[in-house]
Amino acid sequence: MGCKATLFDYDGQIMDESYKEYSMKHPQPGWDELDPTEVWESVKIILKDLRKKNSNAEIESLSTSSLGEAAVLIDSKGDVLCNAMLYTDNRGQKELDYIINELGKKSIFELTGQVAHPMYTLVKMLWLKKNRPKIIDKTWKILLFEDYIGYKLTNETIIDYTLASRTMALDIKRKEWATEMLNIVGIPETKFSSLQSSGTPLGQIKKQVANSLNLPKVMLVTTGSWDQASVALGTGAIKTGIASVGIGTTECLTIPLNKPIVSEKMMRYNFPCAPHIIDNMYLTIAFNMTTGSLLRWFRNTIAKKAYATAERKGKNIYQILDDSATKNPTDLFILPHFGAAGNPYMDPEATGAILGLRLNTTTNELYKAILEGTTYEIMLILECLTDAGIPIEELRAVGGGSKSSIWLQLKASMLGRLISVPRINEAGTLGCAILAGVGAGVYKNFQNAVNKLIKIDYIYKPNNKLHAIYSEKYKTYKRIYPKLKEIYGRD
């Protein structure tokens, strides 16, 4: 894990960037934490580094995006009281059961837009209240990482609506803290930050911070956003029918909605609903949990020798694998649940499978089957979205996987949708730059900024013949997960 700072000019071109990794903490098995102080120190390092390399740049404004759920608790002096529990942390199931018993899963979903789960901030706060009550007693503010960094930069405690939704304590329709949820947990609204739209000016950076990091003494800081919302903005996914897809270790789709949709089908398919950065719009997300991670597994095991050879020759192993991949659809089916299953199942106990192996199966076929298998998962997600009344016509691809033309063309053909590649791949930080620019008045509004900054480099169009073939094969693919679950006795 880590943090990145990118410096953009007014035309959206990257001038420079800096990155710093920080470590996840595991004080007990199943406990996944971040040290907020280490995160803040990392933020300071990358900001100082970026400034050092661009000492003459006139930096006008700054904004942030962050992961959701993980809370930073501070006392009245601003000191951190404990580590932040991540969304993967396994604490909170009993506390979640209590909340569900009090209000019901359906009511929670209709109110907050979140499918009840232990990962959410409110559940973790109830765990702390029961197991570490002294920490809650000392807590002045419960922040997420966006408003924590904003507080360190400006002394203001304000969170935007997109990230606030990830607490499972926001009334997404009224855009207010949900007193029904807070009352169940027994935490007053005053312990959370004030709510504002993304890109709202927080104020000027504190002189002490500016001096220590050699930043301009007059530099506006604005509210930021949840990282997935920032990616959507940075790809121009700000109207219905266009979704962003970040292809990395996991594969995440962020889908704009023109209204809050909290239907039974959305809940069944585990699609949350949250405010979008754009006023009066909302969004949902969907995950394939093992995309890049499955390719790394293949690289490090089955293609281990080829990987070592490519490293010695200074070549990109994935480009080599792309070039040698089987051209036609394979006879294999790879269920890519090697870590867990994403939407619609959200099954942490799911396992992967490779079906159709023969003595003449080649590594080139296996590689192509991984590309197919991960894309079948996106076919399933799009089918569920369509069933929930959310059709998608175009996907805008960013992340490491968007550099593979073979994969993107395969996706276009399998999905039967346009796959567009924005010129700027750093969609998350570009989204932050847009927030900063709108907040500073550089751009009139988000649409104006998107029109000016986001250009499409290439559009992959479906091959209708291949789409027909894969649509038939998909009928078989859909049967694999339920059957495998039955075989393992997990019905």
Task: Write the pLDDT tens digit of every residue in 330-358.
Answer: 999 999 999 889 999 999 889 999 999 99
- Any idea which fold 226-491 has? Nucleotidyltransferase; domain 5 (3.30.420)
Is the fold of 2-223 the same as that of 226-491?
A: yes
Alpha-carbon distance 406 to 278, whole Å? 33
Alpha-carbon distance 198 to 204, whole Å? 16
Alpha-carbon distance 121 to 137, whole Å? 17
Alpha-carbon distance 274 to 472, whole Å? 34
The CATH superfamily of 2-223 is ATPase, nucleotide binding domain (3.30.420.40)
Q: What angle do CA 393, 394, 400 make, to 5 degrees?
A: 150
| Least confident among 38-52, 336-350, 382-396 | 336-350
- For residue 264, the one-letter residue type is E
3-state helix, strand, coil in the chain (%, to 5): 45, 20, 35
Q: What size, in residues, is the chain?
A: 491
pLDDT value for 490: 73
User: Could you state, in order of their start, the residue ranges of all structural domains in the chain?
Assistant: 2-223, 226-491
Query: Is there a cis peptide before residue 344, judged by omega within 30 degrees of 0?
Result: yes
Q: Is the pLDDT of residue 453 over 80?
A: yes
Helix/strand/coil for 226: strand
- Written as one string, the DSSP assignment of 233-268 is HHHT--STTEEEEEESSSEEEEEEESS----HHHHH
When pLDDT is averaged across residues 79-86 and rounded to a whole number, the result is 97
Q: Per-residue confidence at 162, pLDDT binned at 50, 70, 90?
A: very high
Q: What is the dihedral of CA 198, 201, 204, 206, to 10 degrees?
A: -40
Contacting residues for 284 by C-beta, under 8 A, at least 6 apart: 254, 255, 257, 261, 266, 271, 272, 273, 274, 385, 390
Contacting residues for 367 by C-beta, under 8 A, at least 6 apart: 298, 303, 321, 324, 325
Which of 183, 165, 185 minimizes the C-alpha distance to 114?
165
Percent of the chain exceeding pLDDT 70 equals 100
Helix/strand/coil for 282: strand
Helix/strand/coil for 39: helix
pLDDT value for 349: 86
Farthest CA pair distance, the chain: 68
Which of 150, 164, 170, 25 minimizes the C-alpha distance to 85?
25
When pLDDT is averaged across residues 223-241 and rounded to a whole number, the result is 96
Q: Per-residue confidence at 491, pLDDT binned at 50, 70, 90?
A: low
**What are the tens digits of pLDDT across the range 293-308?**
999 999 999 999 989 9
Alpha-carbon distance 36 to 16, whole Å? 25
pLDDT value for 10: 94
Contacting residues for 181 by C-beta, under 8 A, at least 6 apart: 99, 103, 108, 111, 112, 122, 168, 169
pLDDT value for 42: 96
pLDDT value for 21: 92
Alpha-carbon distance 404 to 423, whole Å? 14
Helix/strand/coil for 184: helix
Looking at the whole model, is its pTM more than 0.85?
yes
Helix (H) or strand (E) holding 285: strand 282-288
**What are the tens digits of pLDDT across the range 208-226?**
999 999 999 999 999 999 9
When pLDDT is averaged across residues 47-63 and rounded to a whole number, the result is 94
**What are the tens digits of pLDDT across the range 176-199?**
999 999 999 999 999 999 999 999
Helix (H) or strand (E) holding 176: strand 176-177
pLDDT value for 488: 84
Alpha-carbon distance 171 to 259, whole Å? 14
Alpha-carbon distance 12 to 443, whole Å? 12
Helix/strand/coil for 382: helix
Helix (H) or strand (E) holding 473: helix 464-477
Taking the mean position of all CA atoms in its chain, how far away is CA 164?
Answer: 14
Terminus-to-terminus CA distance in the chain, angstroms?
A: 35
Alpha-carbon distance 433 to 224, whole Å? 10
Do the bridges between strand 33-34 and strand 274-275 make them parallel or antiparallel, or are there none, so unpaired?
unpaired
Mean residue pLDDT across the chain: 95
pLDDT value for 88: 87
Which of 175, 149, 176, 154 minimizes the C-alpha distance to 66?
149
Alpha-carbon distance 44 to 51, whole Å? 11
Do the bridges between strand 251-257 and strand 282-288 make them parallel or antiparallel, or are there none, so unpaired?
antiparallel
When pLDDT is averaged across residues 5-33 and rounded to a whole number, the result is 94
**What are the tens digits of pLDDT across the range 242-282?**
999 999 888 999 999 999 999 999 999 999 999 999 999 99
When pLDDT is averaged across residues 365-387 and rounded to a whole number, the result is 97
Which of 153, 148, 166, 161 minimizes the C-alpha distance to 87?
166
When pLDDT is averaged across residues 458-480 and rounded to a whole number, the result is 97
Residue environment code for 114-135, b if the CB has 16+ CB neighbours within 10 A, otherwise e? bbbbbbbbbbbbbbbbeeeeee
